[in-house]
C-alpha cells in the first residue's frame, strides 16, 4: 500500500525532508473552478494563499483544485526539483497543451495513453487533428511538423526539446513554463516507499488510481499496489481502486471533478 501526502507548493520542497527518499510523486497545477467546470489557472503571484505554510499540506479554497499533470517515481527531492524547471533536461520534452485545451485535458477524454505501443505518434497526430489547437508541443519531429506545417524541427532521434523550436522565427508557446514561472503555479503530492515496493509498479498503480489522465509514460504490465491519499488529496483518486490494468484498460477517465 502507498499513501500520498499533499498537495504542497514547490516552495515547500526543501521543508519536507525528502532528500534521498524514494517514492512516487504527482505534480500538477492549481486551477479555479466555476460551476463545477475547470475555468482558469491560479496566478499565485497575485493571490496570497501560500502565506506561512511551512511544511503543511495546502488546503485550497472551495473554488480551487489541484489538478495532476504527471506521475513519476525515484528520488523524491531530486525528481520533483528537476521537473519544476521546464526549460531544461527531460522536462523540456514534456507534452504541452494549449492553454485553452488545458481546461479540457483534465477530463481525460481522448489523449492517447503513453506506454509501449508503437503507434503512439500516429495516435497523437490523430488526436491533434481531430480538434486543431489542442497541442502546443510534443517531443516528436512528425508531431511537431503536423502541429506547425512547414516547420523544420531542431534536434535528433528522440530529443526535440521545446527551447530549440521556433515557428516563423517565434519560439513555441510553453504552457508549462508559463504556469511555473509567470504564475508561480506548481504543486505536488508524494508517497514514500520502502525497498520492498517496485517503483514502476507503484507509478503505474498511481496512474490508474487517479480520477483524471496525466501525460506520464507508464509500465505496460504491472503488479497492482493499493493507492490511498491523505484527507487533502483523497479527492484525486477514484475508489475503490481499479482492478489491475494492462494495455487493454479503458482510456477514458472520469476526470477530476
pLDDT on residue 252: 42
Does the residue 241 lie in any domain?
no
Does the residue 199 lie in any domain?
yes
The whole-angstrom separation of Cα 128 and Cα 135 is 6
pLDDT on residue 10: 96
The helix/strand/coil state of 173 is coil
Q: Is this prediction's pTM over 0.85?
A: yes
pLDDT on residue 110: 63
Does the residue 8 lie in any domain?
yes
Does the residue 165 lie in any domain?
no
- CA triple 165-169-172, angle to 5 deg: 40
Does the residue 86 lie in any domain?
yes
The whole-angstrom separation of Cα 203 and Cα 184 is 26
What does the block give as the cell for 106?
Answer: 483534465
Beta strands in 76-177 (DSSP E): 96-97, 135-137, 166-167, 170-171
- Residues spanned by the domain of 14: 2-138+174-236
Does the residue 250 lie in any domain?
no
Does the residue 22 lie in any domain?
yes
Total domains in the chain come to 1
pLDDT on residue 102: 79
pLDDT values of the chain reduced to their tens digit, one per residue, 257 residues: 899 999 999 999 999 999 999 999 999 999 988 776 777 899 999 888 777 788 999 998 888 889 899 999 999 999 999 999 999 999 999 999 888 787 776 655 567 766 555 567 888 888 888 877 788 999 999 999 999 999 999 999 889 999 999 999 999 999 999 999 999 999 999 999 999 999 999 999 998 888 877 888 887 788 888 888 888 888 888 765 554 433 334 444 444 43
pLDDT on residue 240: 53
How far does Cα 78 stand from its chain's mean position? 17
Provide the b/e sequence for 213-228 (b: ≥16 CB within 10 Å): bbbbbbbeebebbebe
Nearest to 205 by CA among 189, 220, 227: 227
Specify the residue for cell string 520492498.
Answer: 196
Does the residue 62 lie in any domain?
yes
Over its C-alpha atoms, the chain yields an Rg (Å, rounded) of 18
Amino acid at each position: 500500500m502507498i499513501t500520498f501526502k499533499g498537495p504542497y507548493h514547490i516552495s515547500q520542497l526543501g521543508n519536507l525532508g525528502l532528500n534521498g527518499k524514494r517514492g512516487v510523486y504527482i505534480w500538477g497545477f492549481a486551477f479555479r473552478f466555476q460551476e463545477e467546470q475547470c475555468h482558469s489557472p491560479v496566478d499565485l503571484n497575485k493571490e496570497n494563499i501560500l502565506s506561512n505554510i511551512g511544511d503543511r499540506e495546502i488546503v485550497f479554497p472551495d473554488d480551487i483544485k489541484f489538478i495532476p499533470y504527471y506521475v513519476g517515481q525515484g528520488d523524491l527531492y531530486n525528481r520533483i526539483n528537476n521537473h519544476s524547471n521546464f526549460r531544461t533536461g527531460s522536462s523540456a520534452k514534456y507534452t504541452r497543451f494549449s492553454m485553452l485545451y488545458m481546461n479540457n485535458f483534465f477530463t481525460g477524454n481522448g489523449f492517447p495513453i503513453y506506454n509501449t505501443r508503437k503507434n503512439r505518434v500516429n495516435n497523437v497526430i490523430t488526436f491533434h487533428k481531430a480538434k486543431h489547437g489542442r497541442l502546443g508541443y510534443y517531443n516528436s519531429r512528425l508531431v511537431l511538423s503536423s502541429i506547425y506545417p512547414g516547420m523544420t524541427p531542431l534536434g535528433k532521434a528522440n530529443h526535440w526539446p521545446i527551447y530549440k523550436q521556433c515557428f516563423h522565427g517565434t519560439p513555441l508557446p510553453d504552457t508549462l513554463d508559463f504556469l511555473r514561472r509567470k504564475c508561480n503555479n506548481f504543486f505536488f503530492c508524494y508517497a514514500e516507499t520502502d525497498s520492498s515496493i517496485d517503483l514502476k509498479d507503484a507509478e503505474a498503480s498511481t496512474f490508474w488510481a487517479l480520477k483524471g489522465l496525466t501525460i506520464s509514460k507508464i509500465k505496460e504490465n504491472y503488479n497492482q499496489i493499493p493507492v490511498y491519499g491523505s484527507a487533502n488529496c483523497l479527492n484525486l483518486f477514484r475508489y475503490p481502486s481499479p482492478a489491475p490494468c494492462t494495455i487493454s484498460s479503458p482510456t477514458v477517465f472520469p476526470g477530476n471533478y
